[in-house]
């Protein structure tokens, strides 16, 4: 694969960097600095679509003529968007909500550039079913460093992998970037060429 123009990932997420880096060897990381709080009455899908678009546009304005990919992921259960837990108590609360149940992971992504403005702005949803998590397991997990920089307080590819019974839909979406849809959109837009 090769890029037709310089490419920027508008995200500080190490997981997105790793996923994209497996396919595209050379890109720049420039995180955006936008307010990520949800708007009143904003659905999870509208929220990730808006944030991914705002992230990509903010970075694109400072880097005209380059392709920019923005993304945002939320974990949703009972209509509540779970952000990144700030404390062990918060991490355990989130695990308690997810324990023994299926939740949604929704990632929005936006591709901006090529002189076209926003070329693609889409959202992908996956379902994740957790096992019943014991109090002891929650205590242990909350003491690790893993929950605190991840939506919903867990990483599917990390220590929490043993909580997961089933995934319905895109695995890479649950990590934070739905590669199938992103790469297809990049190819169609001319931001990526398979060689």
- The first and second tokens of residue 71, run together, are 């993304």
* Domain ranges within the chain, ordered by starting residue: 2-193
**Which string of DSSP letters, residue by residue, matches 115-151?**
TSSEEEEEEEEEEEEEPPPPHHHHHHHHHSSGGGGSG
| Predicted TM-score (pTM) of this structure | 0.91
pLDDT at 133 over 90: yes
Q: What is the average per-residue pLDDT within 117-137?
A: 96
Report pLDDT for 2. 45
pLDDT tens digits for range 66-122 = 999 999 999 999 999 998 999 999 999 999 999 999 999 999 999 998 667 889 999
Q: pLDDT exceeding 90 applies to what percent of the chain?
A: 78
Options 35, 72, 78, 122, the catalytic residue: 72
Q: How far apart are CA 32 and CA 100, in angstroms?
A: 35
Architecture of domain 2-193 in this structure: Alpha-Beta Complex (3.90)
Known catalytic membership, residue 72: yes
Q: What are phi and psi of 19, to 5 degrees?
A: -60, -50
Report pLDDT for 131. 98
């Amino acid at each position: 694969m090769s890029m037709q123009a310089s490419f920027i990932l508008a995200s500080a997420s190490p997981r997105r960097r790793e996923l994209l880096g497996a396919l595209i060897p050379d890109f720049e990381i420039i995180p955006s600095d936008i307010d990520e709080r949800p708007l009143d009455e904003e659905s999870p899908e509208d929220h990730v679509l808006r944030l991914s678009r705002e992230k990509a546009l903010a970075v694109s304005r400072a880097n005209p003529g380059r392709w920019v990919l923005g993304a945002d992921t939320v974990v949703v259960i009972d209509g509540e968007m779970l952000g990144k837990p700030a404390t062990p108590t918060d991490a355990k609360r989130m695990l308690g909500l997810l324990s023994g149940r299926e939740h949604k992971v929704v990632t929005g992504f936006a591709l901006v550039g090529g002189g076209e403005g926003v070329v693609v702005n889409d959202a992908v949803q996956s379902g994740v079913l957790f096992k019943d998590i014991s109090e002891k397991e929650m205590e242990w997990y909350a003491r690790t460093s893993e929950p605190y920089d991840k939506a919903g307080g867990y990483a599917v590819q990390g220590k929490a992998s043993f909580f997961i019974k089933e995934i319905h839909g895109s695995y890479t979406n649950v990590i934070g970037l739905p590669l199938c849809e992103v790469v297809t959109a990049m190819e169609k837009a001319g931001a990526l060429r398979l060689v």
